[in-house]
Structure 1
């Protein structure tokens, strides 16, 4: 049997560049790069960056094993350009990428060689955000602080950060710059507040060559001569071996200079204007409308109520979400008017959603035709110190406890339920659980009735409570370099849900007890304004997002185990 031979795992290799990599006095409009095999481009418009950015995207064409790049606009005089290919160049057989390849040229006599580097992370999560841009805005001589430049003009230099959030940006000319990062959603290189994440260094950064270094200049080289000239800079992806000046003339580049390192935190600004953030018909007989901020004494009316009938309106505890239900399916189009004491007035039009027939008491029922019940159980285990919660998809209007029962060990009890939220969609079973006992909550048909007249069907919730030996404990000693500033400690599960919160203003120790085995995360927010929550940044007001720190690696809790950790917080 014939085999296919070893799998090709080698990336394409550059054989020739025309004009050569590092050319100066570039006057053409095309670049040709030849490889040792046939290649193709992967998402060229997304993966390939030209710095400084161009208004018109270049054309990328493949001719055999050669990639031809054609510029569709005049290039700026005396400017160093760098084309970053990212992972765009791959071979046609196995898709092996030529990662990190870049091509540099200058339209003047100098290859600029200053550079910066750094990291970009999400300010709240501390995680890297893929495809984030890092760059520089060139500032005027009199501009000392960043203004709206990020929203008004394209940056002077850009690069794309790596998957781990690190970046290096090279081939920069001396000057005064604003350093920034942008998660550019629409690809226009402009910052769009409220919809794009942004980060910035809030002081002007001056980049200059060290005094003893020499800038590469055409006048320093002569025909048939090779000179070693020290430059203050280094290549971003591939080092420049030689820079072609003219026929038979090269100048070696030695890059001893390492530029400054910046750490930036991405944030998405919060829109200060009250708006509707979402509106939807969640079911044929249900509507949910959410506002950015709470409404002041909101009032809701259905403009075409004659064709709808009775409408039940419920507000959440913060008055920023409105729920509407009707006993019968809503008509195809619903017109809703919402006002409040702040002068808010919105008229909303919602179109129909496919309806699943509701079934009332006394009829046969099927999935989707009754009041739905869920619980907070994870599997069939409940920590003995917690409560059993029942969650409903509509507000509950009536509970008939004669139709349900609760068994704890060998005891059979009549259950008692307590409403836990303003919408009457969350209820607690009132009972103090003991350790290591089998429990069963049975709810028969029509135990619960919703405000629209839907009834629940029979359900069973079987679970065993934990013991002290099933659980673990963490004792965390915290020290900080920001005493007197309010800190918020958060204990999160593997789904990033906050389970425990503590506040502190100085070195302290906390005990987090009764934790189920598993992996958890410790996070601290530096709460500068003492409002007990994390606040995002405001670019135009030069307010950075509140700093956060996440302890690495994740903390593993084991059953019947006490874990002690120390964490020195540096902000």
Structure 2
């Protein structure tokens, strides 16, 4: 056999061997192991570090994710840094030397991940000092939402040195950390001293309180930070600092709609004429004010005064040219209460425009096709918000359904047009489908508001200064009890002041959820607010 033939056979043998070789199957178990830190420079708890580089080495290849958001460096520094990732090492290099005689903490949180499944490295904060000792001050606590008592997760907790002139509105904090899912936070290795402390839901990551939509919490007194510091618990609230103003105008033939930037609690026209007054009303939330066009009126100008629940006031000069080409709709009635009727409860209606007149027998209920029972009503107008309160009586026993019907000629709107006939079928919920709760309030508080809330914190009912309570007609489900304290006795609950000089007034929660069952009275509830201030809700 020639040499060329032998070479050909040898190559063929290797090719066939390669085709027949066994290769490991693709896939395999999912990588759920987080990267492990092998070394760090400077070493944790080291002293007299003079470098400008932080170097971390892991047991596998890693990447950075959301470092600017996740990495917390304390004390706060504006010393910028660059990052370099090379396989299993991460380098942070600062542009300027670190501050002398300073204890630094680097908390990378979830910013370092592996390449395969993006498992986050579990790292303890890296602590070192550029001086000859490590600071020993500590402070910890829990941040909760003031009006719900629920944990304030992922909120920034900010420390400002008491001697500094900067505030949470104007300057970056000296120290910063972040709460966990339970609202807990902890500072270690702080310089001992006196600090002002804040909690902030920092939506724009500015480390300052600069948006009305951010919740903020603070303590009345400064905190003296030592090696062992008493817990500093903080309660956050959203402070309304905006003045109400007209955001949008929608002009029609018969009316104008003024849409505000927030719900207003009061509205009035300052230069209202003595005769032929301008008629106006607002929607349920107070965000839209409706201005009724007067007969033959093509345009109108006036000055509007508005106020919100925080007491902020707005002044708007309004000029309206009515859109005479707009086709108006016939006014209609809308149901504001539950279509499941509980005997003895009221039925509430509102109109798309205010009611001018109602005839005596404007409404009746029909439990069957042959029976018509007249319904008494009350027309209530409060701050431009109008409701018709109906009180059905005389329903035959065992009635399961009935119709509520209006006389289409008996209700006249402020536009002079009659309302479209209202017909609505109600299902009667007998007493066995609802429950109640009763109890006592044991307190020395002089002025407060007791509120019954749903599990989602929606206000269902409220009473002022009760010593006993009995809430009836409740649908089965979970409820909460909350007390808002009128500490300054001005007739309402006040939030924190916009300048942060005063705390929000006290809020207390009954420590357990109330489980309401059908045909059942939950009794003997004793609510002593002063004894439940530190209790956490389920």
Q: 1:323 aligns with which of 290, 306, 319?
A: 290
- Given candidates 112, 125, 128, the residue that maps to 2:135 is 112
Give, in angstroms, the shift of residue 315 of structure 1: 6.0
User: Does residue 78 in structure 1 map to residue 106 in structure 2?
Assistant: no
| Alignment CA distance shift 1:424-1:169 (3 Å) | closer
Deviation at 1:511, TM superposition (A): 2.5
Mapping of 1:56-75 within 5 angstroms? 58-75=81-98
d(CA) in 1 for partners of 2:48 and 2:300? 65
Residue 390 (str. 1) matches residue 349 (str. 2)? yes
Is 1:492 the counterpart of 2:515? The answer is no
Q: 2:174 aligns with which of 156, 160, 164?
A: 156
Question: Per-residue displacement from partner, 1:68-105 (whole Å, max 9, x unpaired)?
Answer: 32334543211112122233334444443345642222
Instruction: Give how far 1:133 is off.
Output: 1.4
Counterpart contact for 1:335–1:347, Cα < 8 Å: no
Aligned to 1:127, which of 150, 164, 177? 150
| In structure 1, C-alpha distance between the alignment counterparts of 2:64 and 2:173, rounded to whole Å | 25
Cα deviation code 1:215-242 (max 9, x no counterpart): xxxxxxxxxxxxxxxxxxxxxxxxxxxx
Partner of 1:528: 487
Q: Compared with structure 1, are the counterparts of its residues 404 and 513 closer, same or farther at alpha carbon in structure 2 (3 Å cutoff)?
A: closer
State yes or no: 1:87 paired with 2:117.
no
Tell me the SS of whatever aligns to 1:109: coil
The equivalent of 1:346 in structure 2 is: 316
Shift of 1:160: 0.6
Distance 1:287 1:534 in 2: 28
What value does the CA root-mean-square deviation take over the aligned residues? 4.3
In 1, distance between residues paired with 2:204 and 2:301? 33
Residues 145-544 of structure 1 aligned to structure 2 (within 5 Å): 149-192=167-210, 196-209=214-227, 258-271=228-241, 275-277=243-245, 279-281=247-249, 286-289=257-260, 294=266, 298-299=270-271, 313-314=280-281, 322-324=289-291, 337-339=302-304, 345-347=315-317, 371=331, 373-378=333-338, 380-397=339-356, 406-408=365-367, 411-414=371-374, 417-422=377-382, 423=384, 425-432=386-393, 434=395, 437=399, 438-442=401-405, 451=414, 460-480=423-443, 483-504=444-465, 508-538=467-497, 542-544=501-503
List per-residue Cα deviations over 1:235-271 (Å, max 9, x = no partner).
xxxxxxxxxxxxxxxxxxxxxxx54211112234454
Contact 2:266 2:306 in 1 (8 A): no
Cα 1:158–1:345 shift into 2, 3 Å:
closer
| Contact residue 270 and residue 302 of structure 2 kept, 8 A | no
Q: CA–CA distance in 2 between the matches of 1:157 and 1:341?
A: 41
Distance apart, 1:28 and its partner CA: 2.7
What whole-Å deviation, never above 9, does each CA across 1:360-406 have from its counterpart, x for those lacking one? 5xxxxxxxx6645432344x412222212223443345668999753
What is the rounded CA distance, in whole Å, between the counterparts of 2:460 and 2:118 in structure 1? 44
Partner of 2:53: 30
Q: Structure 1 length as normaliser, TM-score?
A: 0.72
Distance in structure 1 (CA, Å) of the matches to 2:195 and 2:71: 24
How many Å separate the matches in 1 of 2:394 and 2:428? 7
Task: Name the CA shift for 1:278/1:101 in 2 (closer, same or farther; >3 Å).
Answer: farther
Provide the aligned length of Structure 1 versus Structure 2: 488
Structure 2 CA distance for partners of 1:429 and 1:473, relative to 1, 3 Å = closer
Measure the CA separation in 2 of the matches of 1:196 and 1:349: 34
Q: Secondary structure at the match of 1:97?
A: coil
- Three-state SS of the structure 2 residue aligned to 1:262 is coil
SS at match of 1:137: strand
Helix, strand or coil for the counterpart of 2:372?
strand
Give distance in 2, aligned partners of 1:536 and 1:385: 36
Cα distance between partner residues in 2 of 1:109 and 1:130: 36
CA contact (8 A) 1:492 1:521 kept: yes
Contact 2:362 2:411 (C-alpha < 8 Å) held by counterparts:
no
Confirm or deny that 1:136 pairs with 2:107.
Answer: no
Is contact 1:490-1:499 (8 Å) kept? yes
Q: Deviations over 1:132-152 (max 9, x none)?
A: 211321123xx9xxx873334
Task: Say which SS state the counterpart of residue 208 (structure 2) adopts.
Answer: coil
Contact 1:358 1:370 in 2 (8 A): no
- 1:462 positional shift: 1.3
Contact persistence 1:123–1:267 (CA under 8 A): yes
